[in-house]
Amino acid sequence: MRLDGRVAIVTGGAGGIGRGIVRAFTDEGASVVFADINAEAGRALEQELPGRAKYVDIDIAQAGSAEKICAAAIETFGALHILVNNAHASRQAPLVDTTQEMFDLSFDTGFYPTVRLMQAAYPHLRETAGTVINFASGAGIEGQATQASYAAAKEAIRAVSRVAANEWAADNITVNVISPLALTEGVRAYIEANPGVEDAMLSRVPLRRFGDPQQDIGRVAVFLASADADYMTGQTLMVDGGTQKLR
Ligand SMILES: NC(=O)c1ccc[n+]([C@@H]2O[C@H](COP(=O)([O-])OP(=O)(O)OC[C@H]3O[C@@H](n4cnc5c(N)ncnc54)[C@H](O)[C@@H]3O)[C@@H](O)[C@H]2O)c1
């Protein structure tokens, strides 16, 4: 039980990697408040993990959501040790066709909620010498075609994570980033909309498979959230089967 007694927040916890992290964290003894906009899936996961996971039906793009999510963690479980900023929505288009709306979607669901939740969680994380796990993407690190709005927000998240790692080190708060590859609802939808993309993606993965949200990504998140990673901060972990980089 590597997370025994710890309380976590996970955004986008009702599906995909977020759900994998909720399951991996509770398996290791953590209590988790998870926010999502998919109420059906959220309530189903809450019922699967009675007393250990609480679903809050909160759109992280809305003003005031960060404070509400932190308040739910404190009211339900009494403290906050781990913040996982996982949810992020985006649309793809060539750069010349990328609209203000696409940038707004990506920054309003990815970058700004990550920053606002870090700010709202900071007083609580300072009390527990807690940790933050944010999410990046190879789309940003490599600058993948058609990903301008998503790539920009993801790299902005990495930049702010490094700043917070430096500023909050004095409080013993660590801040790290996972750049994952996993077969999730989001990736399935992307594959279905883009014939041939699955083979193209897997051809760059030496391990020749997509990661599993719980076993492959969730367990790395457990490591980062545990005392085993206390001497790591400001780092990006590539949890992507060794994906060979475009550049
Ligand atoms: N899956 C991958 O291979 C991959 C690759 C690179 C980066 N990532 C990143 O990992 C994270 C998880 O990805 P995923 O594939 O599990 O995504 P996903 O789309 O499968 O799941 C995202 C979850 O977030 C929720 N969500 C979306 N908008 C929300 C909002 N406004 N408020 C609250 N919840 C919201 C969704 O309902 C869903 O449950 C994201 O940050 C993503 O960018 C994933």
CB 221 within 8 A of CB 244: no
pLDDT score recorded for residue 158: 98
Beta carbon of 35 within 6 Å of any ligand 1 atom: yes
CA 185 to ligand 1: nearest atom: 20
The Cα–Cα gap between 17 and 214 comes to 7
Query: Which pLDDT score, from 0 to 100, does residue 215 have?
Result: 98
Query: What confidence score (pLDDT) does residue 170 get?
Result: 98
**Cα of 220 from ligand 1 centre, angstroms:** 17
Cα(6) to ligand 1 centroid in Å equals 23
pLDDT score of 246: 84
Portion of the chain with pLDDT greater than 70, in percent? 100
pLDDT of res. 247: 74
Task: Give the pLDDT confidence score for residue 79 in this predicted structure.
Answer: 98
pLDDT in tens, the chain (247 residues): 999 999 999 999 999 999 999 999 999 999 999 999 999 999 999 999 999 999 999 999 999 999 999 999 999 999 999 999 999 999 999 999 999 999 999 999 999 999 999 999 999 999 999 999 999 999 999 999 999 999 999 999 999 999 999 999 999 999 999 999 999 999 999 899 999 999 999 999 999 999 999 999 999 999 999 999 999 999 999 999 999 988 7
Q: Calculate helix-pair angle for 39-48, 16-27, nearest 10 degrees.
A: 20
Residue nearest to atom 42 of ligand 1 (CA): 88
Looking at residue 17, its pLDDT comes to 98
Q: Cβ–Cβ contacts within 10 Å for residue 242, how many?
A: 12
Put simply, whether the predicted model's pTM sits higher than 0.95 gets the answer yes
Greatest Cα pair distance, the chain, in angstroms, is: 50
CB 20 within 8 A of CB 212: yes
What structural domains does the chain harbor? 7-182+212-238 (3.40.50.720)
